[in-house]
Amino acid sequence: MPKVITESKKAFMTGNETAAWAALVSGADIMFGYPITPQNEIMHYWTRLAPKYGRGFLQTEDEISAGFTVCGSVQSGKKAFTATAGPGNVLMQEPFGMAEAMRLPVLAIIQQRGGPSSGTVVYSQQEVTLTTFGGNGEGHRIVYSTATHQEIYDYVIKGFNTAWKYRFPTFVLGDGYQAKMREPLEIYPPEERGIKMVDTYPLIGLEGSIRAGEREPQHLCNIYSLEEELYEVVLKNAADYEAICPELIEFEEKHCEDAELIVVSHGVVSRAADDAVKALRAQGIKAGYFRPITLRPYPAEQLKAAIAKSGAKKLLVAESSYGQFYRLTRQEIYGETVKIETLFKPGVGIIDYDIVNKIKSII
Amino acid sequence: MATVVPATPKSWYLPSKPHKFCPGCGHGIVLKALGEAIDELEIQDKTIFGCDIGCSLLSWNFFACDTTQTHHGRTTPVMVGIKRSRPELITVGYMGDGGGYSIGSQHLVNAAVRNEKVTLILVNNTNYGMTGGQMAPTTLPEQITETTPYGRDPELTGYPTKGPEFIAQLTPDSAYVARATVAKYKQLKRFIKNALRNQIEGNGFSFVEVLSTCPTNWRTNAQQTWHFLEDEMEPNFPVGEIKSPFGKGDK
Amino acid sequence: MFSPQIPARVVEAYIGEYASGKSELAINRALELKYLGHKVTLVDLDTVEPFYTLRPIKQMLENKGLDVIGFSKEDAFGLGETGAMLNPAARWVLWREGDVILDIGYGVHGARTLNLVEGASESSELRVMAVINYSRPMTASRQGIIDYISNLGRVDAIVANTHLGDETTLEVIKRGNKAIIEVAKELDIPVDYMAVDRNFLQKINPEEFGVPVKFIKRYMPKAIW
């Protein structure tokens, strides 16, 4: 079997394509998916490349099936993944719930599009609530919000490892702009960077004969007879989740040593925030920049620390949604007395100019 | 010099014309047959038209009838909801092979089993057109699509779905099930009228699959397009009335 | 005086891998011909990719004197999954007077997209130009290019368009385009020209490559939806 990438090199790629290649180098065995704009190229590239490397693919009848087929596949010990957007993400909440309940290492790439409903096929950051706390569970998920193609590549690889090491459903949260934009990045075989891919193992179809008494049959479930049983399960998952939060949390902060106002944003909007803060600083305005990379778990202590050390009186939360990231942020930093201003552009891109103007109007 | 205005059905909504379907697309033909059927049966004012996501979406403002766009694959249940609440309305659900046989298959099967008094028209062009040409349940063996770049392998992904055949098995005798083709317009219109008649008379479920063309995603010129429709699709998807309360099946 | 070497008009179809630079080169070629005084029609034949088509910049290109066949953003507005849409005028474009430059979108069918244009297969004027960027993973090796070209269908000429976006360097351009030129020789397909961003105007010596060099301006960054 040929190696996917023998040595690292610079390439000019689109976001979707990057996700497909990253899954390939991560050793993903199979992809299940369903057509929905703007993530179709992940399937287009996977179907072209997978046969050359002995990987599998199935276009399922819908996203519910795509999610459940991934669940089944990881239960059997194979590294499976899927990708979706918008209404497809809504449908996948049912299988993602099963993954949360049964601790299945599912990896899903979400390319946000306008919502609610069919919305637009283009872009938004309106799937934050859905991806972080969707389904009928407690949000025991890991969500990476990427902003560049390099990050899509890096975090798909990391996402597989995170999922298989900690066994919580893991998401790479992108959007339609990232999916389609073209930019250079460095693609590499994980080993070259000292990244070891976490081994997979099955929960069913294990080695050894049950009949010959070599092992017990595995009986997996996600439903319980008594409230108390469920309570124990949820509390254990919560404890496992909370224990790993410190090592999972990732964020980026700039100019927070002294800032009057900190711009809080995530994903592709953080690129605009970065440029905006640079421009404002050049004009003598003390703006700071804070960007959670993991939305779950949220870098709450780190944001509180940034607010404390900077002396900032205000935060500006900028997002391409009507408050999903704002609500998440507010709940995580509850107790902070800093005033939170907002720049909401549901389904619409935000450029540095938008943030600069907004800050000038409120400072 | 006077401008020649093409004859269009009265139930067509003129401000949305010319429509945006691709040149050579079969949707325009199906919707014309449907429009003429609505005119001839005089049901324009009580027709509710529902469309799916996909190329059928381009028909959302096509008719001068009340219309709702739904979600991908969810046109059937929305039409069922309307019909069960307002039985005097004539509900026409319009969808593609993806919306009907893939994500919408569960709803199609259940509506058929319950003999819902809705009329569903499913346009079959063997691919997911609007999203760029991915495989559909009706994609033919060996056919190249964006998710079968090496050709559809029936061992891996199954054989093309034959919807009217299984719908006919699931429904009682009061249902109407047929397959038409845009290559035979008079028959297409007749089948659509029969389907609507089945609802108007309160008999039961009515379903018409229509074999249609998609030169854009098939990447075919005019000749190749008709060849694919008539010489490749039709042998796989037999045309005719499979079940009809109105007498002997029409082949 | 009639010279048999001068073609009656220019009819070129730009095809290539996803994001290989087809639209960018089609636009630049159309504008180049316009500035030479020709009547030029630019055709959007992208039926798979709803973003990065000519749609958002249609007006701007028309203001520069091009006839652009394609839907504008507003025409496609509100239609949701507006991926595959084909303007009917594209079908008959070869019947128009003047030069015709076609931007053929990506897709598994390659050059067969030209079946959608009446008269394309019979046209003696049409040249199918395959655009290759050596920095794109699928065409980043000799074998990759050979496999890709053999799946495209009809290819009359290759255009070498190696770049890494904002991180392009002279080294990247030289290495990539030289590799493409080598493979083209092996496949016996002419390399019509090498496309290089205008920023490298003084830094490239065409003689080093043995093919014409065209310096291009980038319009497509404005074309994201």
Q: Where are the domains of chain C?
A: 11-223
| Candidate from C71, C84, C88 with C-beta closest to B132 | C84
CB A261 within 8 A of CB A315: yes
Mutation test of the interface with chain B: which of C86, C117, C152, choosing the one with the most B Cβ atoms within 10 A?
Answer: C86
Is A219 contained in some domain? no
> Helix, strand or coil for residue C222?
helix
Q: Which residue of A has its CA nearest to B101?
A: A61
End-to-end CA distance of chain C: 47
Chain A residues within an 8 Å CB radius of C179 = none
Is A216 contained in some domain? no
Q: Is the pLDDT of residue A262 over 50?
A: yes
- Window A:315-354, CB contacts with B under 8 Å: none
Minimal CA–CA distance to B134: which of A77, C189, A35?
A35
Q: In the complex, which subunits touch A with 3 or more CB pairs below 8 angstroms?
A: B, C
Is A113 contained in some domain? yes
Minimal CA–CA distance to A84: which of A131, A50, A27, A48?
A131
Note the pLDDT of residue B163: 97
pLDDT digits (tens, 9 = 90+) for C9-41: 999 999 998 889 999 999 999 999 999 999 999
Chain B residues within an 8 Å CB radius of C85 = 20, 22
Minimal CA–CA distance to C162: which of C144, C139, C187?
C139
- Cβ of C79 within 8 Å of Cβ of B144? The answer is no
Chain A residues within an 8 Å CB radius of B128 = 35
Note the pLDDT of residue B207: 98
Q: What is the mean pLDDT of chain A?
A: 96
Q: Is the pLDDT of residue A100 over 60?
A: yes
Domain C11-223 fold is Rossmann fold (3.40.50)
| Candidate from B24, B57, B219 with C-beta closest to C109 | B219
Same domain, A58 and A143: yes
For A233, phi and psi rounded to 5 degrees? -65, -50
| Candidate from B102, B128, B131 with C-beta closest to A61 | B102
User: Domain of A264?
Assistant: 251-362
What CATH number does the domain containing A275 carry? 3.40.50.920
Chain B residues within an 8 Å CB radius of C128 = none
| Candidate from B145, B217, B222 with C-beta closest to C84 | B217
The predicted model gives A109-138 an average pLDDT of: 95
Q: Is A34 on the interface with C (CB under 8 A)?
A: no
Chain C residues within an 8 Å CB radius of B224 = 115
Q: In the complex, which subunits touch B with 3 or more CB pairs below 8 angstroms?
A: A, C
CA distance C9 to chain A (A): 33
- Dihedral Cα B188, B190, B195, B201, nearest 10 deg: 170
pLDDT digits (tens, 9 = 90+) for A168-214: 999 999 999 999 999 999 999 999 999 999 999 999 999 999 999 99
Q: Is A148 on the interface with B (CB under 8 A)?
A: no
Of A17-21, B3-7, B227-231, least confident by mean pLDDT is B3-7
Same domain, A185 and A268: no
HSE toward the beta carbon, residue A258, CA cutoff 13 A? 4
Chain A residues within an 8 Å CB radius of B149 = 44, 47-48
- CA–CA gap between residue C207 and residue C204 (Å, rounded): 9
Note the pLDDT of residue C219: 87
Chain B residues within an 8 Å CB radius of C46 = none
Q: In the complex, which subunits touch C with 3 or more CB pairs below 8 angstroms?
A: A, B
Q: Is A117 on the interface with B (CB under 8 A)?
A: yes
pLDDT digits (tens, 9 = 90+) for B216-251: 999 999 999 999 999 999 999 999 999 999 976 554
CA distance A246 to chain C (A): 35
pLDDT digits (tens, 9 = 90+) for B128-181: 998 889 999 999 999 999 999 999 999 999 999 999 999 999 999 999 999 999
CB pairs < 8 Å spanning A and C: 67
| Candidate from C80, C84, C116 with C-beta closest to B133 | C84
- CA–CA gap between residue A123 and residue C225 (Å, rounded): 10
What are the CA-CA distances from residue A188 to residues A100, A195, B169, C143 (Å)? Answer: 31, 10, 54, 20
Is A229 contained in some domain? no
Note the pLDDT of residue C78: 46
Note the pLDDT of residue C225: 42
Q: Is B103 on the interface with A (CB under 8 A)?
A: yes
What's the structural domain count of chain A? 2
What CATH number does the domain containing A171 carry? 3.40.50.970
> Considering the domain B16-243 in this protein, what is its CATH number?
3.40.50.970
- Cβ of B53 within 8 Å of Cβ of C83? The answer is no
Note the pLDDT of residue B152: 97
- Cβ of B53 within 8 Å of Cβ of A62? The answer is no
The predicted model gives B35-47 an average pLDDT of: 96
- CA–CA gap between residue C79 and residue C97 (Å, rounded): 32
- Window B:121-180, CB contacts with A under 8 Å: 128, 131-132, 134-135, 137, 146-150, 156-157
Tokens of C64: 């520069």
The predicted model gives A54-63 an average pLDDT of: 96
Residue ranges per structural domain of chain B: 16-243
Chain C residues within an 8 Å CB radius of A189 = none
Same domain, A256 and A188: no
Note the pLDDT of residue B249: 53
- Per the model's pLDDT, the better-predicted residue between C85 and A39 turns out to be A39
Whole-prediction pTM: 0.92
Note the pLDDT of residue C109: 86
Task: Give the bridge partners for A97, in sequence order.
Answer: none
pLDDT digits (tens, 9 = 90+) for A150-171: 999 999 999 999 999 999 999 9
Per-residue pLDDT of chain C (225 residues; tens, 9 = 90+): 554 555 679 999 999 988 899 999 999 999 999 999 999 999 988 876 666 667 778 889 999 999 999 876 666 644 544 555 788 888 899 999 999 999 988 888 888 999 999 999 889 999 999 999 999 999 999 999 999 999 998 999 999 999 999 999 999 999 999 999 999 999 999 999 999 999 998 888 888 999 999 999 988 776 554
pLDDT digits (tens, 9 = 90+) for B85-107: 999 999 999 999 999 999 999 99
DSSP-assigned states of every residue in A90-128: HHHHHHHHHHHHHT---EEEEEE-S-STT--SS--STTH
- Cβ of B219 within 8 Å of Cβ of C116? The answer is yes
Q: Which residue of A has its CA nearest to C161?
A: A12
